[in-house]
Amino acid sequence: EVIGQTPRILKSGALSQDTYKEFWAKLLLKEVVFKELTNKTKDGKTITIEASANPILDNSGNIIGFLAIQHDVTEKKKLEKIKEEFLSTVSHELRTPLTSMKNITTNILVGVTGEINPKQKRYLSMMNQDIDRLTRLINDLLDMSKIEDGKVILVKKPTDIISLTLILVEKLIPIANSNGINLEFVSNIDKNIINIDRDKIEQIITNLIGNALKFTPNNGKVVVKIDESENEILCSISDTGVGIANSELEKVFDKFYQVGRVEGQGAKGTGLGLPIAKELIKLHGGRIWVESVAGKGSTFHFTIPKENMQK
């Protein structure tokens, strides 16, 4: 039906001239192009498509065209929206009873309702830990839902990134020591005032250090380092844990993906900490990535552009 005709992706105007130029600019660099667009079917129905384009090269490596593929993801998008709305509703509904349960178990533990025996205390402590775990899961679900809906607004204020990181490290040193792990902070920079959302960056750093501690065995080491380049502030969290397999490196920032590198201390997380960190760093205009060698440890890096620095 379409052989010999102008491809509808161009004919229908789904690709504006600017988008078409953007496609070609990347194709000329021999990059694969991916974009989400809207298009119309023959009966005029609007659909959402994922369009990808790969450069076609001749034997000399010159670009002679491109192969474009369109995938109708309209139903997929509808299902994702339903899922997100469901998760958001359930999360909100669960927060209130969990808060009540936490208050009740805490009051019993501290003796508000009378004296309790060691066995009761142990069981109540276990309940409290599970309540905390569920609360973290719910908070992560809500954070991810807000990010995907574009409802996260950064509140940037001048903040000393060095001082902030040092405070977070000092808070976590007792936890590290209790597990026989040496936690250190290293920086050649004395002070660095930068405009960031303090709460969001604190959330990211705490999550990355927490992961490093969780995945590092006794007598291991975790090092938090802050450095700078000409254009960026760089924060790195390195551990001497069991590392991440090459097959999993590309998946660590996927939602709900549980990296299979934990054999030691700590329960598994929600699978949302790293995806949330990735999106929050992107909102700051930075980058986040991981380097790892199985059996030797991992290093998570993130950057914040110096354009955010206080003038």
Instruction: List pLDDT tens digits, range 102-130.
Output: 999 999 998 898 999 999 999 999 998 88
User: What was the pLDDT predicted at 261?
Assistant: 45
User: What was the pLDDT predicted at 140?
Assistant: 82
Range of lowest pLDDT (40-44, 55-59, 105-109, 259-263): 259-263
Q: Which amino acid is at 13?
A: G
Structure tokens at 135: 């609360």
pLDDT digits (tens, 9 = 90+) for 138-162: 888 888 878 877 788 888 999 999 9
Share of the chain above pLDDT 90, in %: 36
**Residues 185 and 161 sit within 8 Å (Cβ to Cβ):** no
Confidence class of residue 14 from pLDDT cuts 50, 70 and 90?
A: low
Confidence class of residue 45 from pLDDT cuts 50, 70 and 90?
A: confident
Share of the chain above pLDDT 70, in %: 90
Confidence class of residue 185 from pLDDT cuts 50, 70 and 90?
A: very high
Taking the C-alpha atoms of residue 24 and residue 63, their distance in angstroms, rounded to an integer, is 10
User: What was the pLDDT predicted at 122?
Assistant: 92
265, pLDDT greater than 60? no
User: What was the pLDDT predicted at 226?
Assistant: 93
For residues 85 and 12, the model is more confident at 85
User: What was the pLDDT predicted at 259?
Assistant: 67
For residues 267 and 60, the model is more confident at 60
Region of 296 (left: φ > 0; alpha: ψ -120 to 50; beta: rest) is: alpha
Task: Scan for tokens 């899961």, then name that residue.
Answer: 137
206, pLDDT greater than 90? yes
249, pLDDT greater than 60? yes
Mean pLDDT in residue range 194-219: 91
Q: What is the mean pLDDT of the chain?
A: 84
268, pLDDT greater than 60? no
Mean pLDDT in residue range 66-90: 83
Confidence class of residue 264 from pLDDT cuts 50, 70 and 90?
A: very low
Structure tokens at 306: 């110096």
Q: Per residue in 195-218, is it b (16+ CB within 10 Å) or e — as a string? A: bbbeebbbbbbbbbbbbbbbbbee
Comparing CA positions, the residue from 180, 202, 226, 175 lying closest to residue 277 is: 202
Mean pLDDT in residue range 249-274: 68
Residue 130, judged by CB atoms within 10 A of its CB (0-12, 13-18, 19+), counts as middle
Mean pLDDT in residue range 214-223: 91
Taking the C-alpha atoms of residue 224 and residue 189, their distance in angstroms, rounded to an integer, is 13
311, pLDDT greater than 50? no
User: What was the pLDDT predicted at 162?
Assistant: 93
